Structure 1
Amino acid sequence: MFHSWLDRWDERRAARGDAVKTTTRFALGADLAFPGAGRVESITEFCALADHAVADPGYFDEPTGADPTFEFEDDRLRFRSGMSSEVEENNTVWAKVTDSGSRGQALVVFHHWNASARYRQIARFFARRGITVVEIALPYHFERSRPGSLYADHMLSANLGRTIQSLRQAAWDGRKLIGWLQREGYGEISVLGMSLGSWVAGLIAAHEPAVSKAALFLTAGRLADMVWTGRATQAIRESLEPAIDQEDLRRAWGPLDLEKYAHLLARDDLDLHLVLARRDTVVLPDLSDRLVQTLKDAGANPGILELNCGHYSLSMPPYILWAGLSTARLLRHGR
């Protein structure tokens, strides 16, 4: 009976999110994902560029250049993104710092899609354990929101190229922030991502050698499959389906597929921890299971915590407490 109530609670929470989401026009947007690629007029051409990006080890490396100015006042950090979008507000990166008083460990947190508030309780939980927490705003969220938008429709959408651009920008921003933390003297840097934020955290963990531990909550490998099958992204699928099938979408969004980087996530000096919800209707459990198996096949030995809750009810006790404690053990001792 309790789990039936939990499922209904998750469904009501999902329905509230649906109230502001709308279908949008499908677009390739290749110039956003692959600058300088020239005129791209077909899905086949777009997918060929995506294949090339997957094979490019530097695709998630920000071009070298002068370091930005970091402005840190009270608990707020601000710096210029290395990627420029058409929304000026999005081009300044904001982060909230919950200082533990120690330069030993820092944890960079990447929130979920359409988050309405930062994770104050999570930040305090880890700060009390001697870990400084830095909550970065993903593109088009919080201070970076597009004026007039009701949700972060530019972060994840039926515009193939803009979605890649947004997650690539998030990875660049996160890596730039990690560089700042290194210069500030933090000896160990970890990442934690929630839902869509777990894709960003996973991409960074795969490509940024300074990250030693990664906790991925409510995650899977193929972003395309999550969008196609997930409860929270039905409006995006409705926009995509007349123009592209699921198989082509997998290939088009290949650069965002964590399974493509399983060999990088399996490196010896990275500890991985996954927190999964067995009643999840947003990131379906079989998609998470596929990522776990792909990681193991690549030689990784991730810690796995499976909870009998839904996507949204992970935020409720006791589930969030169990997730927090398991992550605290990872940060303290490794896998």
Structure 2
Amino acid sequence: MLRFKSPKPSGIDVVDNAKALIFYPSNDTTKNALIFVHGTGQRNFDHLKYYPQFFSKNGYVTLMPVLPYHFDRTPPGKKSGTAFIKGTDVELAERFDQAVTDILTYVDFLESKGFEKVDIMGFSFGGMIATIAMAIDKRIEKGVFVVTGGNYEYITWKSVATKILRVSYEENKECNPSECALKHKMFDIAAKKFHSLDDLEDLPVCFTYDPSIFAHLIPPRKVLFFKAAFDPFIPSTSSDDLWKRLGKPKRYVLPSGHLSAHLIFKKFIAKKSLEFLNSAE
């Protein structure tokens, strides 16, 4: 277990106690490492341990972080993961910032331990965090993004998972579908003009944590993408938006829903991911 204090503290002790599970291969001389980023969940991520266990058996030291506001990093009285689908744009931006910064701290750790190759894999919400982290930090060599997406206009108003966010917006009168659509008319231009973190200051707050804004900074040859064809949580428009802005990397479209993608295709996802990570560019 790896533990540290989050370098982007929220001010809530339990949230700021960062931690990650470490899965070691039998070959302790490996120089390959993978960071596996879980999705939003309210109970546990035990089922997703399949992936770090698989990769550790195939020669990768694999870190599985617990994201801020999830599981035992959840504030008392709150539900795991809901902090990322409820709140103002400013609050959400701060939470994304902490999550991404934590991931980059794990990259620092792996670099300090002499790992020559660090890859990242993100599942669902974890794919959003992984996309942003990889776009920011060029030390991350390859990325695998599973049943994830971008462009929060689609996620906010079309996903069954973000009903709580829509209610929150209605309550604080911060946004509505027509205002969001108007704001997103400049989304394409903003994505093309975005080149560094300094550019975030010129964007609407809701753009600053959108993986589709960051996507073009990642070479498509370094990405493997999995889409669930019948996904009520990540709308097809959202998944396609991120994939296209990533430069249309290699993609597998799974004939499944969001949760069943793992239940039915976990072996396929793991096998194809390993082949990709081990392949020469």
TM superposition score normalised by structure 2: 0.84
CA distance in 1, matches of 2:95, 2:132: 13
Q: Does residue 1:325 correspond to 2:271, yes or no?
A: yes
Question: What is the deviation of 1:171?
Answer: 0.8
Letter matched to residue 304 of structure 1: R
Q: Does residue 1:84 correspond to 2:9, yes or no?
A: yes
Larger Rg: 1
Q: Secondary structure at the match of 1:135?
A: strand
Which digits, 9 at most, give the CA deviation of each residue in 1:247-290, with x for residues without a partner?
Answer: 367543101222222331127xx611111100001111122112
Task: Indicate the percent of aligned positions where both proteins have the same amino acid.
Answer: 22
Aligned to 1:58: none
Aligned to 1:305: 252
Specify whether residues 207 and 148 from structure 1 end up closer, same or farther in structure 2 by C-alpha distance, changes over 3 A only: same
CA distance in 1, matches of 2:29, 2:255: 35
Of the three residues 247, 252, 263, the one matched with 2:205 is 252
CA distance in 2, matches of 1:102, 1:85: 37
The answer to whether the Cα contact below 8 Å between 2:71 and 2:80 also exists between their aligned partners in 1 is: no
Q: Secondary structure at the match of 1:239?
A: helix
The answer to whether the Cα contact below 8 Å between 1:103 and 1:187 also exists between their aligned partners in 2 is: no
Which digits, 9 at most, give the CA deviation of each residue in 1:212-235, with x for residues without a partner?
Answer: 000111121213421321111112
Q: Secondary structure at the match of 1:304?
A: strand
Letter matched to residue 326 of structure 1: K
Structure 2: state its 5+ residue gaps.
185-203
Which digits, 9 at most, give the CA deviation of each residue in 1:180-228, with x for residues without a partner?
Answer: 1011011100111111111110001001011000011112121342132
Write 1 or 2 for the structure with the bigger share of helix.
2
The answer to whether the Cα contact below 8 Å between 2:122 and 2:146 also exists between their aligned partners in 1 is: yes
CA distance in 1, matches of 2:11, 2:56: 36
CA distance in 1, matches of 2:36, 2:146: 11
Which digits, 9 at most, give the CA deviation of each residue in 1:123-142, with x for residues without a partner?
Answer: 11111110111000111112
Q: Number of residue pairs matched?
A: 253
Q: Which aligned pairs between 1:187-198 and structure 2 lie closer than 5 A?
A: 187-198=116-127
Letter matched to residue 214 of structure 2: Y
Aligned to 1:218: 147
CA distance in 2, matches of 1:289, 1:133: 28
Question: What is the deviation of 1:153?
Answer: 2.5
Letter matched to residue 258 of structure 1: P
Aligned to 2:31: 104
Aligned to 1:199: 128
Specify whether residues 248 and 178 from structure 1 end up closer, same or farther in structure 2 by C-alpha distance, changes over 3 A only: farther
CA distance in 2, matches of 1:196, 1:149: 18
Q: Does residue 1:275 correspond to 2:219, yes or no?
A: no
CA distance in 2, matches of 1:235, 1:205: 28
Specify whether residues 150 and 183 from structure 1 end up closer, same or farther in structure 2 by C-alpha distance, changes over 3 A only: same
TM superposition score normalised by structure 1: 0.71
Q: Does residue 1:117 correspond to 2:45, yes or no?
A: yes
Q: Which aligned pairs between 1:41-80 and structure 2 lie closer than 5 A?
A: 76-80=1-5
Letter matched to residue 107 of structure 1: L
Specify whether residues 224 and 78 from structure 1 end up closer, same or farther in structure 2 by C-alpha distance, changes over 3 A only: farther
Q: Which aligned pairs between 1:124-273 and structure 2 lie closer than 5 A?
A: 124-241=53-170, 243=173, 244-245=175-176, 246-247=180-181, 251-266=204-219, 271-273=222-224
Question: What is the deviation of 1:154?
Answer: 2.1
The answer to whether the Cα contact below 8 Å between 1:277 and 1:309 also exists between their aligned partners in 2 is: yes
Question: What is the deviation of 1:334?
Answer: 5.0
Aligned to 1:59: none
The answer to whether the Cα contact below 8 Å between 1:193 and 1:199 also exists between their aligned partners in 2 is: yes
